[in-house]
Structure 1
Amino acid sequence: MIHIAFVLITALFIFRAPSAVRRPAARPAWLASGFGLLGLVCLGIVAPLEGLDALLGGSNLWNLAGAISTTASFWFFGRAVQILDRDVAPTRMWPLLALAGVQIGIFLAIPERGSTSSHFIEKHVYSPAVWLYQLVYILSIAAIAASSAYTVRRRLRSIFALFILGYAGVALACLSYAFDITVRHFKIFHQSPLSPFNAGFNALFYPGILLIAVGFTVVYLRYSVKQTLIAWRIRAALLAVVAARLQGGRRTWRVFPAEFSKPDPLGQTYDWLIEIHELISIDGFAPTSLETSVVHRIQHALEHNTTMEPLPAVRERMSI
């Protein structure tokens, strides 16, 4: 399952790169996929941990790199979900920087980190510094995941259901893991590395990551389809039908095929939006609720297009 998530996140990182360059709103998801890749690499699924840790300087620094990368990934994925939900990009970065600083500080305070080991935490869980370091990391992930799920809690019937289920699974997994390492650190009762709480983490965390990755993959594919040439042809033709109807034309659907075949559909879409705006605001024609909905959706798509150089802002010029 983790390998499927790795493939999806890699694809998101590669294919969203052009969009991230052009559109600031696309950057959080792209950064999240990049940090997610680093986090997965630090688990040793691409190259042996020994070689990776040697590149970082040894002493299990791979674990710190993985913790910071994973925290940043969930942070930016959370910001990306907010943009999808509210169309607003949060700009505050200081909480993420503070979390990274705390993790680095506690990790460097660990007195004996030993040689490279994939079981670094399990071997040193009785050290107060290791327990606190891992607790801060895992509870940070839980808080970010729970906050992200809460943000879109009312949209369970849409694609956001994947995000809600994914983030909820991650948050529960992290709480289970936090309880597990606390029990073992304080030796409350004997727990093996495969305790029920540790098993609960594995059963929830990686499926949660996969659901989040699938959610963003679906969003990307939907957006890509909407930006195809044929999609803009359909939009321009629909606006031509609306404009013809507003002007009292009969059999307005006859304009659809003629408009559909024109060479510059995105430019035609922009021109039709301007004309419809003038018909409504200047000439006093009244659109139906369906026509209003169609125009608003197409206007939103035009404002967020990535298929050509940015067009002039139309939100202030066109309102129905």
Structure 2
Amino acid sequence: MIKVAESRTSWVASVFGLAALYVLGTVTPLEDIDSHLGGVNVTNLLQAIFALLAIFFFNDSVRRLANVPVVRWTYYAPLLSIPVMIASFSLIADKAPTAADFIDTRMDQLATAVYSGTYMFALLFTVLRIIYMLRHNAKGPYATFSAGLMVVAVAVSCHIAYVVLYYFSPWDDFARAIGTWFDRLFYIGLTVTAAGWLILFLSKQLPRLRLWMIDALWLTAMRMRVNADRSRVSPAWDLFNETLENGVYKSLIVLHNYERVNLMEFPESVQGRISHIEAKLDAQT
């Protein structure tokens, strides 16, 4: 219900992130999910794509929050890795049976190295881009947020080093030792990043919530009570789909139109509340 531009992309990122976690097999057994996709570890590909899309939209949410303009080639560059990942995944030999260690057991194949390396490079590029966007805001919650992202960047770099050393050098054991740091650092970094993001986001949006949330809910309830809309769903849809200020403004228009169409006026107590809300809107402009 926090309807601001940066929250929408953050919600999209969360949906893709949850999808990525789901196909890891943490909720439904991995074999059951993959069996519906052919039983050839397509879940691994989906997990990589969903995770990449999650961080892509998260990057956009951060960009909006930090008021950073879009630099188009850097903005869309990570998405170019998806067709490369799909193509290289299709070239991996003996993709079955379903296994959580699908990548590690096939790292001797060039296609696997390209697939895993491309995915990690795209993640690293996006994370570093977010850190770069926040380079002038390295204080308070931004500092916590950036610190978590730096840990994520180190984790991804460990995995890239593992892929390169395992395939292109004879130091397999050393490569595996470096690769084991990925999971440890990655989830620590994500935890710190999530905490920093929550603190940062709420610190910016709580004043707006305090100012408009009660009015938005009251106006929505009024629209539903008097049947001011053609559709019973419209008031609730506007509450969730509009920014709080826009939702309040739209509800006021709907209620005034309802009065004009029906040649009536709301009771004085309701009119007083509406006038008070309109005064708040005027004070913000």
- Normalising by structure 2, what TM-score? 0.70
* Offset of residue 61 of structure 1: 0.4
Q: Which runs of 5+ in 1 are unaligned?
A: 1-17, 234-261, 274-313, 315-320
What CA RMSD, in Å, does the superposition of the two structures yield over aligned residues? 2.7
- The residue matched to 2:96 in structure 1 has which SS? coil
Specify the alignment match of 1:51 in structure 2. 32
- The residue matched to 1:120 in structure 2 has which SS? coil
Q: Does 1:268 align with 2:250?
A: no
Paired with 2:191 and 2:279, the residues of 1 have a C-alpha distance of 40
**In structure 2, what residue type is equivalent to 1:104?**
I
Q: 1:203–1:95: structure 2 CA closer, same or farther, 3 Å change rule?
A: same
**In structure 2, what residue type is equivalent to 1:181?**
V
* Offset of residue 267 of structure 1: 2.7
Give the paired residue count: 226
**In structure 2, what residue type is equivalent to 1:126?**
D
Q: 1:190–1:28: structure 2 CA closer, same or farther, 3 Å change rule?
A: same
Specify the alignment match of 1:102 in structure 2. 84
Paired with 2:206 and 2:118, the residues of 1 have a C-alpha distance of 41
Specify the alignment match of 1:120 in structure 2. 102
Q: 1:43–1:192: structure 2 CA closer, same or farther, 3 Å change rule?
A: farther
Q: What aligned pairs does 1:108-257 form with structure 2 within 5 A after superposition?
A: 108-191=90-173, 195=177, 197-223=178-204, 225-229=206-210
Q: Write the deviation string for residues 226-275 of structure 1: whole angstroms up to 9, x where unpaired.
A: 23446899xxxxxxxxxxxxxxxxxxxxxxxxxxxx846543223335xx
Paired with 2:210 and 2:279, the residues of 1 have a C-alpha distance of 12
* Offset of residue 164 of structure 1: 0.9
Paired with 1:74 and 1:109, the residues of 2 have a C-alpha distance of 26
Higher helix proportion, which one?
2
* Offset of residue 75 of structure 1: 1.0
- Normalising by structure 1, what TM-score? 0.63
- The residue matched to 2:59 in structure 1 has which SS? helix
Specify the alignment match of 2:23 in structure 1. 42
Q: Write the deviation string for residues 14-51 of structure 1: whole angstroms up to 9, x where unpaired.
A: xxxx44xx544432111111111111222222221111
> Conserved in 2, the CA contact under 8 Å of 1:29 and 1:76?
yes
Q: What aligned pairs does 1:269-308 form with structure 2 within 5 A after superposition?
A: 269-273=280-284
Q: 1:268–1:96: structure 2 CA closer, same or farther, 3 Å change rule?
A: same
Q: Write the deviation string for residues 116-148 of structure 1: whole angstroms up to 9, x where unpaired.
A: 000001100001100111000011101110111
- The residue matched to 1:42 in structure 2 has which SS? helix
Paired with 1:60 and 1:193, the residues of 2 have a C-alpha distance of 23
* Offset of residue 59 of structure 1: 0.3
Q: Which runs of 5+ in 2 are unaligned?
A: 215-271
Paired with 1:110 and 1:155, the residues of 2 have a C-alpha distance of 43
Paired with 1:109 and 1:63, the residues of 2 have a C-alpha distance of 14
Paired with 2:117 and 2:68, the residues of 1 have a C-alpha distance of 33
* Offset of residue 64 of structure 1: 0.2
* Offset of residue 149 of structure 1: 0.6
Give the 4+ runs in structure 1 shifted more than 6 A: 89-93
Q: Which has the higher contact order (CA 8 A, sep 6+)?
A: 2
